[in-house]
């Protein structure tokens, strides 16, 4: 168990319960974080993590339970009260004003003022510099926040929280969009905060990170705490088992061990010398029918740009692409789709889904042509096809008329994937297909991709997740600074050899 | 669960927002009926529908523009120019159908130009149609001058605005036909789905292989064609064409009806049916206030307040 706290815990929640109608989504949950403790909060989608975080940020008022911050009972359901007490939250997506400077972002909304309400900029700068020095963070205060790399933006958000004198930092999937090297940087920052006595609740789907950075973990399943452990006392396999239940855990393991040497079919997509000035160059790709080719590398290695260019979103300055031996010039996504290529973009909310439209409409969005009957749209046919896909993808709830907005992240991702999977086995490119998706849905998505591959689809996956690359890839390419450095059969790789390779390539 | 939270809170709001308008109409009708017995007479009710037909035609046709997240401010001058074009074509001795098609054609042409600038040059709709508002008004003044042109001895053309069928004025039938056609387009055609998809997420629509630029161009074409149709009906109703018809404020009436109906000004969520309900509501309120001799200044303030409340509700939908 956790060593007895010498100091008073920074935050204690007791008996937190949240009931919505007939559903109890959080059931008598206790949570406690000591100063300098990094506590992981893990669980599948639907386990109650988000609700717990919302209670701690004051976004929702629980049905029952109490929260104390540094020994003082707080009034629940008030975000301003929680912030005032020093509970800050860093969300997965950036909450910065991109055009404002780092300095302005840090003090956004509560700038120190002089007489007449004028902003006291010298004081602001002094305070910010003191903050940087105290926490050992290096960042240029005068550049626009939006111009910084993602990991630095996270640091700005952390600084913003620290400027509020935060005692508790809730971090919701803080590394969701970061590459592995940047994750290490962020973790270094977290360790510094630990040293300052900040208590951190680290919510993540990435068990690697949890084991790397956290001291303790609280595992939620179906709204209850199923385990509270020191990270050192629990194995990874046991943690997964607790999160998703024993049976599903076994299935996931089986699937990843079932990888065999595979015979692949003919070359579907052949690219030679692809280049976009100043972005990537000299990229050759042979993507075969019946294989999954993963491209990994650090963020900034231009993998996303490469697949977007192949898909016709951005133009190529040089190079040729052949599909099934026939040269084609793709100038727009509609031409790429006509040539049998699909793309699942990285940011599903920004680029992928129409959240206000139904599951059926989203699933059929890329293949509407199939449902054209003269000038009309065959809505009945769409619904039938959608129901079939929903069943095969195991989308929950299984309703084709439901707004996609109301689905969980994992199910939204299945819908996004599903829109390319009905009909002919084509060429499918996926950019970070399981970002922000829970372990259970991840396993399902892998199964879906493997099944499509086995039916003959040619699949290219861009991923920063080493575990994922090794779990689903038949071949793995490493990209660095706009070049595809090398391609290897996956069975020749181990996690450590791949990490080394990525590091050396960069 | 997070999903459950948002569902229960959101669905409560959605319930309030979805039913706010029918309930408001019922309340407003009840209040006016008690305050002014003349309100509920068949003549007055028919009068309301006749009064709203013109704005209704324009608002129904402009709904798709709002659903894509755009706006069309140029409807007023297009209305004026279409009436003038029809007048001159009639005056040149062409038959009525040619005059009507010429009027609609000029509307479609202007709308497609607006749409091309917005779709293909990626210019903001509010600026493009604001410029268009000025350009088309200028063009109408060049074509028609400052005078009223009276349309005489054109019984067939005059029948468009003044005739009736089964006791119901023809403009009301035209409004109904436009609505039916557009509802059909919205619900049953790929174009209709694409309009909603575009408003929801333009990037995703493009990545799904849709030619979003052409769709945009078409929605503005449709909106201006609706304004042109209203212009023809108006010139027929009042037996005159003028460059000054469709004055400043016409576009506000159109947008107000769409937004009050509950179509989101941010795009995506919306429907032609909602616009019809919005048109009816504003028509009833305006008629009732006229009957009660509410001064026009107070009416304007009331209309503005209604738009703000409607926007507040649609943001919660």
Q: Which pLDDT score, from 0 to 100, does residue B303 have?
A: 85
Q: Which pLDDT score, from 0 to 100, does residue B2 have?
A: 45
Provide the β-strand partners of residue A474: none
Whether A182 and A223 share a structural domain: yes
**Sequence-separated (6 or more) residues with CB below 8 Å from residue A429:** A307, A310, A311, A341, A342, A343, A344, A459, A460, A461, A462
Whether A126 and A182 share a structural domain: yes
Residue B188 counted as domain residue: yes
Provide the β-strand partners of residue A342: A428
Q: Does A54 touch chain B (CB under 8 A)?
A: yes
For residue B270, which phi and psi values (nearest 5 degrees)?
175, 170
Residue B111 counted as domain residue: yes
Which residue is associated with the tokens 């009042």? B238
* CA dihedral of A433, A437, A441, A446, whole degrees rounded to 10: 20
Q: Which pLDDT score, from 0 to 100, does residue B57 have?
A: 97
> For residue B208, what is the nearest residue in chain A, using CA coordinates?
A366
Q: Measure the CA–CA gap between A201 and A223, rounded to whole angstroms.
A: 17
Whether A232 and A366 share a structural domain: no
Report the range of poorest mean pLDDT among A66-80, A110-124, A228-242.
Answer: A110-124
Pairing of strands A326-328, A318-323: antiparallel
Task: Say how many Å lie between the first and final Cα of chain B, rounded.
Answer: 21
The secondary structure of residue B165, as a DSSP letter, is E
Residue B240 confidence class, pLDDT cut points 50, 70, 90: very high
Contact of A319 with A283, CB cutoff 8 Å: yes
pLDDT, averaged across chain B: 89
Cα atoms found within 13 Å of the Cα of residue B5, Cβ hemisphere only: 19
Pairing of strands A483-489, A224-230: unpaired
More confident residue, B263 or A150: B263
Helix (H) or strand (E) holding B208: none
**Sequence-separated (6 or more) residues with CB below 8 Å from residue A101:** A141, A142, A143, A144, A145
Residue (of A188, A162, A150, A153) closest to A38 by Cα position: A188
- Is the Cβ pair B5, A334 closer than 8 Å? no
Report the range of poorest mean pLDDT among A234-243, A272-281, A304-313, B288-297.
Answer: A234-243
Contact of B262 with B274, CB cutoff 8 Å: yes
pLDDT, averaged across chain A: 84
Residue A2 confidence class, pLDDT cut points 50, 70, 90: very low
Contact of A209 with A185, CB cutoff 8 Å: no
Q: Measure the CA–CA gap between B198 and B212, rounded to whole angstroms.
A: 7
pLDDT for B91 beyond 70: yes
Residue A251 counted as domain residue: no
Residue A475 counted as domain residue: yes
CATH code of A216's domain? 3.40.50.300
Whether A333 and A192 share a structural domain: no
- Is the Cβ pair A371, B1 closer than 8 Å? no
DSSP characters over A423-491: SS--EEEEESTTTT--HHHHHHHHHHHHHHHHTT-EEEEE-S-HHHHHHH-SEEEEEETTEEEEEEEGG
Number of independent structural domains in chain A: 2
Residue A178 confidence class, pLDDT cut points 50, 70, 90: low
Q: Structural domain of residue B203, as residue ranges? A: 19-316
- 3-state DSSP assignment of residue B102: helix
Residue B4 counted as domain residue: no
Number of independent structural domains in chain B: 1
Q: Measure the CA–CA gap between B285 and A94, rounded to whole angstroms.
A: 45
Q: Measure the CA–CA gap between A461 and A476, rounded to whole angstroms.
A: 9
Q: Which pLDDT score, from 0 to 100, does residue A320 have?
A: 92
pLDDT for B259 beyond 80: yes
pLDDT for A13 beyond 60: yes
Residue A250 counted as domain residue: no
The secondary structure of residue A351, as a DSSP letter, is I
Q: Which pLDDT score, from 0 to 100, does residue A425 have?
A: 61
Largest Cα–Cα separation, chain B? 71
pLDDT for A259 beyond 60: no
Residue B13 counted as domain residue: no
For residue A488, which phi and psi values (nearest 5 degrees)?
-130, 150
Contact of B110 with B218, CB cutoff 8 Å: no
Residue B53 counted as domain residue: yes
Instruction: Give the gap in angstroms from C-alpha A161 to the nearest C-alpha of chain B.
Output: 23
- Is the Cβ pair A354, B196 closer than 8 Å? yes
Residue A245 confidence class, pLDDT cut points 50, 70, 90: low
Instruction: Give the gap in angstroms from C-alpha B8 to the nearest C-alpha of chain A.
Output: 7
CA distances from A314 to A309, A320, A367 (A): 5, 14, 22
Residue A252 counted as domain residue: no
Classify burial at B203, counting beta carbons within 10 Å of its beta carbon; exposed 0-12, middle 13-18, buried 19 or more. middle
Residue A234 counted as domain residue: yes
> For residue B317, what is the nearest residue in chain A, using CA coordinates?
A356
Mean pLDDT value across residues A177-197: 79
Residue B9 counted as domain residue: no
Q: Which pLDDT score, from 0 to 100, does residue A34 have?
A: 93
Q: Which of residues A206, A221, A244 is at a domain's end? A: A244
Residue A3 counted as domain residue: no
pLDDT for B99 beyond 90: yes
Report the range of poorest mean pLDDT among A115-124, A209-218, A350-359, A496-505.
Answer: A496-505
Q: Which pLDDT score, from 0 to 100, does residue B97 have?
A: 94
Instruction: Give the gap in angstroms from C-alpha A408 to the nearest C-alpha of chain B.
Output: 7
Residue (of A142, A114, A118, A115) closest to A128 by Cα position: A142
Q: Does A336 touch chain B (CB under 8 A)?
A: yes
In chain B, % of residues over pLDDT 90? 58
For residue B104, which phi and psi values (nearest 5 degrees)?
-65, -40
Q: Which pLDDT score, from 0 to 100, does residue A80 have?
A: 83
- 3-state DSSP assignment of residue A367: helix
Residue B113 confidence class, pLDDT cut points 50, 70, 90: very high
Report the range of poorest mean pLDDT among A30-44, A231-245, A273-287, B276-290.
Answer: A231-245
Residue (of A235, A226, A229) closest to A217 by Cα position: A229
Residue A115 confidence class, pLDDT cut points 50, 70, 90: low
Q: Which of residues A244, A265, A298 is at a domain's end? A: A244
Q: Which of residues A179, A211, A244 is at a domain's end? A: A244
Whether A227 and A299 share a structural domain: no
Mean pLDDT value across residues A194-211: 85
In chain A, % of residues over pLDDT 70? 87
B21-60 CB burial, b ≥16 within 10 A, e <16? beebbeebbeebeeebeebeeeebeeebbbbbbbbbbbbb
Whether A114 and A152 share a structural domain: yes
Q: What residues 7-46 of chain A have any CB closer than 8 A to a CB of chain B? A: 18, 20-21, 23, 25, 46
> For residue B269, what is the nearest residue in chain A, using CA coordinates?
A356
Residue (of A219, A227, A151) closest to A190 by Cα position: A151
Of B2, B3, B204, the CB nearest to A352: B204
Q: Measure the CA–CA gap between A461 and B245, rounded to whole angstroms.
A: 59
In B, which residues are within 8 Å of A20 by CB distance?
A: 1, 4-5, 7-8
Q: Structural domain of residue A359, as residue ranges? A: 257-505
Condensed to tens digits (0 to 9), the pLDDT of residues A284-317 reads 999 998 899 999 887 667 888 999 999 999 889 9
More confident residue, B283 or A262: B283
Whether A342 and A229 share a structural domain: no
Residue A5 counted as domain residue: no
In A, which residues are within 8 Å of B120 by CB distance?
A: none
SS3 content of chain A, % helix, strand, coil (to 5): 40, 25, 35
Q: Does A377 touch chain B (CB under 8 A)?
A: yes
Residue B179 confidence class, pLDDT cut points 50, 70, 90: very high
In B, which residues are within 8 Å of A361 by CB distance?
A: 193, 196-197
pLDDT for B205 beyond 70: yes
Q: Which pLDDT score, from 0 to 100, does residue A263 have?
A: 54
In B, which residues are within 8 Å of A378 by CB distance?
A: none
Residue A2 counted as domain residue: no
Handedness of CA A55, A60, A61, A62 (dihedral sign): negative
Report the range of poorest mean pLDDT among A32-41, A258-267, B125-134.
Answer: A258-267
A177's tokens: 């969009």
Q: Does A346 touch chain B (CB under 8 A)?
A: no
Helix (H) or strand (E) holding A292: strand A291-297
Whether A84 and A212 share a structural domain: yes
Q: Where are the alpha helices (DSSP H) in A166-290?
A: 180-195, 207-213, 236-244, 246-257
A109-144 CB burial, b ≥16 within 10 A, e <16? eebeeeeeeeeeeeebeebbeebbeebebebebeee
Residue B5 counted as domain residue: no
DSSP characters over B113-130: HHHHHHHTS---HHHHHH
Condensed to tens digits (0 to 9), the pLDDT of residues A457-469 reads 899 999 887 778 8
CATH code of B184's domain? 1.10.3470
Residue (of A189, A197, A202) closest to A135 by Cα position: A189
Condensed to tens digits (0 to 9), the pLDDT of residues B9-63 reads 666 666 666 667 777 888 888 888 888 888 888 888 888 888 899 999 999 999 9
> For residue B193, what is the nearest residue in chain A, using CA coordinates?
A361
Whether A313 and A453 share a structural domain: yes
In B, which residues are within 8 Å of A353 by CB distance?
A: 201, 204
Classify burial at A447, counting beta carbons within 10 Å of its beta carbon; exposed 0-12, middle 13-18, buried 19 or more. middle
Chains A & B: contacts with CB separation below 8 Å: 102
- Is the Cβ pair B196, A357 closer than 8 Å? yes
Enter the ipTM.
0.82
Q: How many CB atoms lie within 10 A of CB B111?
A: 31
Q: Which of B13, B189, B209 to mutate to test the interface with A (most CBs of A within 10 A)?
A: B209
Q: Which pLDDT score, from 0 to 100, does residue A261 have?
A: 45
In A, which residues are within 8 Å of B207 by CB distance?
A: 311, 313, 333, 343, 345, 351-352
More confident residue, B183 or B20: B183
B152's tokens: 């005489």
Q: Which pLDDT score, from 0 to 100, does residue B69 have?
A: 92
Mean pLDDT value across residues B252-269: 88
Residue A5 confidence class, pLDDT cut points 50, 70, 90: very low
Residue B255 confidence class, pLDDT cut points 50, 70, 90: very high
Whether A336 and A269 share a structural domain: yes
Whether A220 and A289 share a structural domain: no
Beta-strand runs (E) in chain B: 148-150, 164-165, 168-169, 240-242
Classify burial at A321, counting beta carbons within 10 Å of its beta carbon; exposed 0-12, middle 13-18, buried 19 or more. buried
Q: Which of B191, B201, B215, B262 to mutate to test the interface with A (most CBs of A within 10 A)?
A: B201
Condensed to tens digits (0 to 9), the pLDDT of residues A397-450 reads 888 999 898 888 888 999 999 988 876 668 999 998 887 777 778 888 999 999
More confident residue, B138 or A251: B138
Condensed to tens digits (0 to 9), the pLDDT of residues B210-237 reads 989 999 999 999 999 999 999 999 999 9
Report the range of poorest mean pLDDT among A172-181, A286-295, B140-149.
Answer: A172-181
Whether A177 and A283 share a structural domain: no
In A, which residues are within 8 Å of B203 by CB distance?
A: 350-351
Helix (H) or strand (E) holding B261: helix B250-261
Q: Which pLDDT score, from 0 to 100, does residue A506 have?
A: 58
């Amino acid at each position: 168990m956790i060593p007895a706290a010498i100091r008073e815990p920074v935050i204690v929640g007791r008996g937190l319960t949240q009931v919505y109608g007939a559903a109890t989504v959080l059931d008598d949950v206790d949570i406690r974080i000591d100063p300098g403790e990094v506590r992981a909060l893990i669980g599948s989608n639907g386990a109650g993590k988000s609700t717990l975080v919302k209670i701690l940020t004051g976004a929702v008022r629980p049905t029952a339970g109490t929260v104390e911050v540094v020994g003082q009972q707080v009034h629940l359901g008030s975000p301003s009260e929680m912030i005032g007490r020093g509970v800050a939250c860093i969300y997965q997506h950036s909450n910065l004003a991109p055009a404002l400077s780092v300095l302005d972002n840090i003090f956004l909304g509560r700038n120190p003022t002089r007489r007449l309400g004028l902003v006291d900029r010298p004081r602001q700068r002094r305070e910010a510099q003191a903050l940087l020095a105290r926490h050992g963070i290096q960042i240029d205060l005068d550049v626009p926040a939006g111009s910084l790399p993602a990991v630095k933006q996270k640091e700005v958000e952390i600084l913003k929280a620290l400027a509020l004198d935060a005692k508790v930092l809730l971090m919701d999937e803080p590394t969701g969009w970061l590459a592995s090297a940047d994750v290490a940087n962020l973790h270094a920052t977290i360790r510094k905060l630990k040293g300052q006595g900040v208590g951190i609740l680290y919510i993540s789907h990435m068990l690697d990170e949890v084991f790397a950075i956290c001291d303790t973990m609280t595992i939620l399943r179906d709204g209850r705490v199923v385990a509270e452990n020191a990270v050192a006392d629990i194995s990874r396999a046991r943690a997964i088992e607790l999160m998703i239940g024993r049976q599903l855990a076994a299935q996931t393991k089986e699937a990843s061990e079932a990888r065999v040497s595979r015979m692949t079919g003919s070359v579907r997509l052949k690219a030679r010398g692809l280049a976009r000035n100043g972005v990537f160059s000299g990229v050759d790709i042979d993507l075969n029918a019946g294989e999954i080719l993963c491209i990994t590398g650090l963020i900034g290695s231009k993998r996303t740009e490469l697949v977007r260019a192949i898909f016709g979103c951005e133009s190529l300055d040089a190079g040729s692409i052949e599909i099934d031996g026939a040269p084609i010039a793709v100038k727009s996504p509609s031409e790429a789709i006509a040539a049998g290529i699909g793309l699942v973009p990285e940011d599903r909310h920004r680029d992928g889904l129409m959240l206000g439209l139904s599951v059926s409409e989203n699933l059929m969005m890329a293949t509407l042509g199939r449902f054209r009957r003269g000038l009309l749209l065959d809505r009945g046919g769409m619904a039938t096809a959608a129901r079939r896909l929903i069943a095969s993808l195991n989308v929950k709830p299984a309703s084709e008329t439901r707004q996609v907005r109301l689905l969980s992240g994992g199910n939204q991702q299945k819908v996004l994937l599903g829109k390319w999977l009905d009909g002919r086995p084509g060429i499918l490119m996926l950019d970070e297909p399981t970002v922000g998706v829970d372990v259970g849905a991840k396993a399902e998505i892998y199964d879906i991709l493997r099944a499509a591959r086995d039916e003959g689809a040619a699949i290219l996956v861009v991923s920063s997740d080493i575990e994922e690359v090794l779990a689903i890839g038949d071949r793995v390419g490493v990209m660095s600074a706009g070049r595809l450095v090398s391609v290897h059969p996956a069975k020749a790789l181990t996690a450590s050899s791949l990490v080394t390779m990525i590091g050396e390539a960069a | 669960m997070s999903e459950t939270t948002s569902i229960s809170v959101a669905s409560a709001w959605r319930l309030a927002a979805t039913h706010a308008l029918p309930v408001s109409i019922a309340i407003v009708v009840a209040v006016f009926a008690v305050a002014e017995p003349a309100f509920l007479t068949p003549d007055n009710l028919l009068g309301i529908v006749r009064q709203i037909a013109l704005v209704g035609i324009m608002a129904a046709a402009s709904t798709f523009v709002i659903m894509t997240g755009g706006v069309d401010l140029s409807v007023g001058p297009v209305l004026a120019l279409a009436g003038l074009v029809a007048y001159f074509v009639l005056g040149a001795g062409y038959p009525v159908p040619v005059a009507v098609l010429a009027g609609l054609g000029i509307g479609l042409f202007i709308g497609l130009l607006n749409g091309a600038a917005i779709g293909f040059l990626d210019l903001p709709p509010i600026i493009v149609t604001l410029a268009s508002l000025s350009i088309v008004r200028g063009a109408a003044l060049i074509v028609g001058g400052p005078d009223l042109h009276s349309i005489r001895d054109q019984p067939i053309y005059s029948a468009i605005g003044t005739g009736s069928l089964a006791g119901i004025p023809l403009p009301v039938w035209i409004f109904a036909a436009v609505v039916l056609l557009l509802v059909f387009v919205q619900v049953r055609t790929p174009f209709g789905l694409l309009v909603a998809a575009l408003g929801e997420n333009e990037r995703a629509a493009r990545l799904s292989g849709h030619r979003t630029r052409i769709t945009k161009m078409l929605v503005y074409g449709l909106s201006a064609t609706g304004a042109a149709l209203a212009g023809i009906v108006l010139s027929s109703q009042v037996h005159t064409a003028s460059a000054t018809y469709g004055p400043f404020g016409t576009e506000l009436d159109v947008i107000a009806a769409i937004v009050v109906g509950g179509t989101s000004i941010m795009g995506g969520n919306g429907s032609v049916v909602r616009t019809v309900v919005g048109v009816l509501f504003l028509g009833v309120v305006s008629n009732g206030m006229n009957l009660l001799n509410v001064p026009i200044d107070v009416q304007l303030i009331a209309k503005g307040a209604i738009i703000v409340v409607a926007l507040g509700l649609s943001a919660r939908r």
